[in-house]
Structure formats: C-alpha cells, structure tokens
Structure 1
C-alpha cells in the first residue's frame, strides 16, 4: 500500500475544546468580567438621579441580573455548548436569532474589553502626570489587549486561573477599604448623613431614577459570560448554576459596599462625574496605603474584566464559524493549546481600533446597548424553551424556580432600560438597532446559503410540543 493511500485511509482526528473547568473558574469568569463595574461606571447613575438613585438602581438592576443568572443557569446547563446564549438561540428560536445573539455577545464583550483598556490607560495617566504622552497612552492600551489575547491563546485553564487570583485580590481590596473606614461609626470617616440628605438624595425626582437605569447596568454587565465556557466545564449541571449564582451574590454584596463607602465620602455631584470612585474613596481616607491599594486594585479589576471578555467574545465568534454562519476558518482549534486561536487573533485589531477612536463613555454605552438587546432575547428564549420542552420532556441540569416571573421581570426592566438609554444616547441606540437589522438582512439573503442546516442542531431532543 502506498504512503498516499495509507494517509488517505487514516481517520481524521478532530481537535475539540477541553472540559477542564470547575465552579471556581466559572465564578472567576463571571465576577472577573463584572467587578470593574464596581470600580467605575456605576457611579454615573448618581449624575443622572442622585446618590439614592444609584442605590435603588443597584438593587433593581441586581434583580434584573438575578433573573438573567437563573434563566441562564437552566438553559445553559441543558445546552452546554461554546457560545452560550448563541447555542441556546440556535436550538430554541432559530438561526437568524442565533446569529444576532452572537453579534450581541461579541460586541458587548469586545466593547467592554475596550472600556477596560481605556480605563487602565486613564488611571495610569492620572498618576503619571504630564510626562505620560499620547504614545504612552496608546502603548498601554495596545499592551493590555495584545498581552491578554496572548494569554487566552495559550489556554483557557491558565486564563481563568489568572482571572481567579486577580479577581479575588481586587474584590478583597473593596472589603479591606470597607472595614478601614469604620462603617459602624458614622462621622469618624464616613459622613453619609451629610452626603445623602432629603435635598440631594433624589435631586431630579423619580425620572432621575429611570434615567439612571442606563448606567446601573454597569454594576453587573457580563455575569452572563459564564455560559460562554459551557463546553469547557467538567460538570455543566453543577458548575454553571453554582458558579453563576455565587458570582451574583458576590457582586450584590460588593456593589452595596461600594455604594455605601463612596456615597459617604463624596457628594453626588462629584460621585456622578469621576471615573475612579473607589480610587477617590481611597484618597479621601487620607491613607497613602489605602490609596495605593485601590490604585492597584482598579488596574487588576480592569485586567480581569478584559481577560474574561476576550475569552467570551472569541468563543461566540468561534461558534459562528463552526456552524458556518461565518467562514469556517474561524472555527479552528489550536492543536496544542485547544483554544479558538483564530477567533482570538481576529478580534484583536477590532478591539484596538475601537480603543483608539472611542472614549470611555462611548465604549461603555455600546457595550450596554448590546447587552440589553441580548437580555431582551433571554426573556423570550426561556418562555419558548419551557413551552416547547416542558419540565419532564428532556433532562435539565438545573431548573430555575418561580417561572415565568423572572422572565417577566427581566423583560419589563429591559424596556425601562431602553427608555433610559434613549434619554441620553438616542442616536447611538438607533444606530445600533439599524446595524443589527442590516446584518440580519445580510445573513438571511446571503450567508445562510452556506450553512449545513442539519449539522447546526446538535442536541438529542425530541420534537418540540406543537410541531
């Protein structure tokens, strides 16, 4: 037998993603992406509605994301595939919805990654002074994006082990700051009774609370990213619900502590303006040690978030390539590191381009817009999932309680958030919706002809109810 014949008859080895992650990695991915929102971004809600509005939004948006976490935990533990909500949409709603959801995910995480790189450069520039020129600024942004992309290229286990450590350190810094300012003794360092008064708690009334929904999303944006690594989790039925819900509890506690400390140290006019609320809180304590700790923690939180965003965006893009929604070139898995390396590399110049032309507020807004579009889909998705495959018809890894209440709450809060975004960024909201409509038309009339329709559905489920 010739060498050519032997080689032709040899079976082709399929390289796939590795199942090596546990609940701690899921927690690190979710909290790591989100924690930077407690270091900056959430405080812009105070500018819209006052200090008390920022607290109200902390818990109301916390309810929105608790609904997201509960819904995600049920569907993703059942559809445990890379791409998370994209894989859910593909099996439950249909290909066009799946394509749009994947775009929502890629843009939400890429713009969040961009926001983090800008925040790191801004923070360093604020400390470096006038000697920190434009080239230094751009160099920091480029270094952050390229180095973290290289880390993701080398493997998901290494990436999330690093994320676990730096996320834990950044979260511990918030706890240390909280106890350092003696929260049990108002007036010693904290002055909540002076900063939150009947006159300034809600300076614009309840319409200010509605407007604050826009920035309130930043408290928790990205926790749903835990589902992007579903195909690399050892036990999705256990790890995804535990890791995601533990992440939400962690973030709710951290957000409440953050609000309490910052609102007690800064008037709402300044709190709603600064890019560094926790770093400024460290400065206002008068302790150089606390100030330096919060400076380092701000950098670490932004690094953890950018690191997780690269992981999630690449897996959504990889999933599109694997199903031929995009060229299959993007679906390549590295033979050694077992990562979607081409998708990781492809998104690097896109992130760099946005980071060099957008400011922090614009980047955050584009990320929030894509995120809210995605959450709207999730409320519809879980309704369809329960209707098509009722409890008992298929095996679920986890069943979330109180259905359909979480879906109804999620949809209602998303509608309010759209209105809040329209009040401040109506042009951007319109532009994003038009962009997604154009991409939908492109997919429907051009790209879908390349999809192998039978291959895209991989779950061994029975026919849905009513079909």
Structure 2
C-alpha cells in the first residue's frame, strides 16, 4: 500500500553530516556581507562616530543572542531553530509567529544580497567599458543557482559557504593591513570624524542599521538537526562566529571611516569595495570585488538554508500545508520548501529598494530577538539546571536576557524614527497571520506529535 507523502517525509530524515566549522560558516557566512554593505546606512543616520557606538551596542545585543542560543539550541536540537524552541517552551501560536519571523528575516536578507551582487557586477561592468551591463539578470541567476545548490545537499552547500566565507574574511584583513592603520598614509580620521552631527538622537537612530553588522548569526540554530554533535558543534560554532564578527565589524568601520567622508559613506552601496578603490591599488580592488561577491553569495546561500529549514519544520508539524515537510529521498534536503521560497525572494530582490529590504529583514529579526529574551527565562523556570541535560549553560542568567530585551526596545524606537510605517505594517501583518493560524490552520495540527523532546514535565505543570 502506498504511504502518504506525510508519512514518507517523517520516515526520511535530514542527514547529520555537519561539524563546528560548518556551523561557523553558516553563522558568519550569512552575516559577513553586513561588513561589505548595509551597516554604513547607520553612518547616514548619525555620523561615523554614532555608527561605531551602534556597532558595539549591537555587538553586545548579539553576544547575548549567541549566548542564549547556544544554551537553548544545544538542548532543543531540532530543525527550525527558534521555531522549535518556541514550540516546546511557550506554545503553538508563538512558534508559528517565530517561524514566520525567521523565514522573512532570512528571505529578505537573501534578496538584499542578490541586489548588492547585481549592483556590484553592474558597477564593475560599467568601469570596464560595458555600458549596457544590467543588474537584474545577475540577481535572478544568483538566487536560482544557490537554490539549486541547496536542493542538491546540505554538506556541499555549507562546505561551499565555509570556503568563500573564509576568503571574504581574509579580504577584510588584507585591506585593513594594506591601508597601514598605524600611520596616516591613507587614514584621515582626524579630518573625517566630525563627532555627532545629529547629537545622541543620531546615535539612537544609527542603532537601526548597526544590527546589520551581525544580523543572522542566530541562523546557526537551523543546523541543529544536521550536525553530528549538537551539544559541541552549536555552541562552539556560534560563539566563535560572534567573536569573528565583532573583530570584522570594528576593522570595517575603522577602514571606511578613515577613507571616506561620512556624507558619502552613509549612502554607499558597497563601502568596502569603495574603500579599496580609494587606495588606487588594482590588486586591492580585485580582492575586495571578490570578497564582496563571495560574502553576498555566502550570505544568500545560508539564508536559503535557514529559511527553508524553518518553513520545512512548520510544514512537518502541519503549521503549514504538510507538503512542505517533505524530504528529498536522494539528497535528503527539504526540497519543496527551498523551491517554494525562491519566487518570494525574487519578487523582493527585483522590485524593492535595498534599504527597504534591509529594514524588513531587521524588523523580523528584532521581533525574534525579543521572543528569545522571554524564551530563555521561561526555559530556565520550567526546566531548571540539573533537570535536563544541556550542551552549554550560558553564564550570568538572567542578565543577558534582560540586556537583550532592553536593547531590543531601544532599537524598536530607532527603527520607528526612520521607518515607522514599515514597523507598523510588519506588526499588522504578523497580527493578521496569527489570526489566520488561530482561527483556521491550528485545527490541522497534530497537537501531541509536535512535541518531540524527551523532557520531564515542566516545574509546576
């Protein structure tokens, strides 16, 4: 007798083939593009000094995120990351919303990467004398190629990300050393740093795009069901990833702020590539062109991986149509989820402006981080230390959760200052989606089958 597709998708599981290096590549690969583009819009909001303050404040926020994620995900080792956490710790409605936060954050980031790559190819083509070079074909080809790569298997996908992410990170180091930061041959910070042109309100506004330095590091959780040793690989890959990004973000700011006036830097599309052009070194220009291309490819590649895992997990639990929970019988990937999200990314990459796409991604991520603060507090209350085995225990609890919540509140206000309409629109969208789930979709959910962790009953159950 033929088995229904749902039973087949549950019988065929994802492959456990990844190690800590792949987790690092997934987290850093998604985020490193933030050093190559997007972060500099914070400069336009408040000046170069405000952008540096926003960089470090956002770094503190994401350090809290990484610490919290490392504990909860090494314990809830299931595909879907924060979605799986919400499902087991808080409840179905929260899980549905968190799943949507993840999908939209990563899909919008994927679109932003494709836009940047297309712009860069068009710019270089024009510089080389090809006046008719257009960005749109490269946007489409990028998304289609990476979707195909993800379709074919997770090991090859994240090994590819590991290599190109390492190259992009090395390119930042080479540029940093080439501009001789110990001298004033290239660096003109004394002339270019103008303090806070918009005062401390500008610092707060800059926090909006300061998140772009690190947005996506929490995506390491999406590999939980495909790593060989979740208790070791997830904390190690995530914590080394945030350290890598803190170093890269500070170096990026230092180089760009010392080479470009803040008025130009605040609206540049590819600031690191522009910094290389200002050195008049062809070798550096080529290296940073490759670094920018590789960072956008690695980020878009990781975004497709993460968004499809969240969508797949929701389909497997019937929070979405069950067809999305299918696993490819040969490649062992969530192939239907990968294919379904391709046109969504293409629409936004093709028609939406870059800053709007970045803002939608940041807002979805911000909602997810707010959830994480409450999530870890409830996790510790329901299953205190010693009740269940944890792969990693983050220190100073509940201080990281409280700091994360405070910084999220400040960032909401920062986003509201420049993109209030988008903030309200996103909140309304998620409220409507919640009503749809509660009134229509939840009746299809197998309520007992969705809880898969072998945990004891919560305290005071």
Quick check: TM above 0.5?
A: yes
Q: 1:410 matched to which residue of 2?
A: 404
Normalised TM-score (structure 2) = 0.97
Cα deviations by residue, 1:188-220 (Å, 9 ceiling, x for unpaired) = 111111112xxx121111110000011001000
User: Aligned partners of 2:223 and 2:341: how far apart in 1?
Assistant: 18
Match of 2:27 among 30, 45, 48: 30
Which residue of the partner structure matches residue 12 of structure 2? Answer: 15
1:319 aligned onto 2:316: no
- Deviation of the 1:355 alpha carbon: 1.2
CA contact (8 A) 2:117 2:293 kept: yes
Post-superposition CA distance 1:243-284 (Å, at most 9, x none):
000000000000010111111101111111111110111011
Q: Is the 8 A contact 2:55 2:207 kept in 1?
A: no
Q: How is 1:289-438 mapped onto 2 (pairs within 5 angstroms)?
A: 289-438=283-432
Alpha-carbon RMSD across the aligned residues, in angstroms, is 1.5
Q: 1:94 pairs with 88, 91, 95, which one?
A: 91
- Is 1:221 the counterpart of 2:215 in the alignment? yes
Instruction: Tell me which residue corresponds to 1:107.
Output: 104
Change in CA separation of 1:84 and 1:287 when aligned onto 2, cut-off 3 Å: same
CA distance in 2, matches of 1:349, 1:271: 32
* CA distance in 2: counterparts of 1:164 and 1:460, whole angstroms: 33
Instruction: Map residues 421-460 of structure 1 onto 2, 5 A cutoff.
Output: 421-460=415-454
Show structure 2 runs of 5+ residues with no match: none
What do residues 92-117 of structure 1 show as CA deviations (whole Å, max 9, x unaligned)? 00000000000000000000000000
Name 1:137's counterpart in structure 2.
Answer: 135
TM-score (norm 1): 0.96
Q: Secondary structure at the match of 2:11?
A: coil
- Alpha-carbon distance in structure 2 between the residues aligned to 1:148 and 1:132: 27
Worse overlay, 289-298 or 217-226: 289-298
C-alpha displacement of 1:137: 2.1
**Distance (Å, rounded) in 2 between the aligned partners of 1:265 and 1:216:** 19
1:181 aligned to which of 167, 171, 179: 179
1:58 maps to which of 35, 46, 55:
55
SS state of the match for residue 81, structure 1?
coil
Q: CA deviation at 1:131?
A: 4.7
Residue 150 in 1 paired to residue 164 in 2?
Answer: no
Match of residue 67 from structure 2: 70
Residue among 79, 82, 86 paired with 1:82 = 79
Q: Post-superposition shift, 1:353?
A: 1.2
- Secondary structure of 1:203 counterpart: coil
CA distance in 2, matches of 1:352, 1:52: 35
| Secondary structure at 2:371 match in 1 | helix
1:240-279 matched pairs, under 5 angstroms: 240-279=234-273
Q: Which runs of 5+ in 1 are unaligned?
A: none
Aligned 8 A contact 2:317 2:450 in 1: yes
Q: Residue 170 of structure 1 aligns with which residue?
A: 168
Larger radius of gyration between Structure 1 and Structure 2: 1
